[in-house]
Amino acid sequence: MTDQEIDEIATPFSSFCVASGSREFDHLGFARALFSKSAQSIMNNAAIDDIAAEVFGTMATHQERQFANRILSRAIPEGHVVVPGWLPIESAPKGSGIGKLTTDPDYVAPPAILLLFDEGKIAIGYWDWYYAEGGRGYEGGLAWIAQEAGERLDLHYDAPIGWMPLPAAPANKEG
């Protein structure tokens, strides 16, 4: 995304933040930081707050979180459905990478996430390096696996276009 495209999205938010008594913010610097970090980690409110702390020295305001979600959703390729809150599939977490055994102390399991497909279809899945290019089970296709069925999602859908973290489970209330 170019600085001009970022500016076109950001200017109304920046003006709104100032008009609503919020701080004026460096929307270009914030957007650049969002893009550089979104490829490395899950972009939830905590991650957005961390980036805001780096750029502004404090947590993100509600308006800045809205701005972050709008900027990140614009990164989904043109022609795909863009739904607020969905992140580009390229930024989805994939665990520790190919060549790591689950017994390796540096192994990080890929988290289960919500995956968005064309036509609004949604599935819960995770990345499995075994089926990824270079993995022993690679047969072409993608390595997104259905959490419950354990089969490759590309057998049923096209490639996912977006993702988001699963919501937290409800608190266990005894009573």
Q: What is the SS3 assignment for 56-80? A: HCCCCCHHHHHHHHHHHHCCCCCCC
**Nearest CA-CA partner of 92 in 73, 114, 74:** 114
Give the pLDDT confidence score for residue 79 in this predicted structure: 46
**If pLDDT is split at 50, 70 and 90, which confidence band does 13 have?**
low
**If pLDDT is split at 50, 70 and 90, which confidence band does 81 have?**
very low
Average the pLDDT over each of 29-38, 111-120, 129-138, 155-164 and give the range with the smallest value: 29-38
Q: For the whole model, what pTM was predicted?
A: 0.51
**If pLDDT is split at 50, 70 and 90, which confidence band does 124 have?**
very high
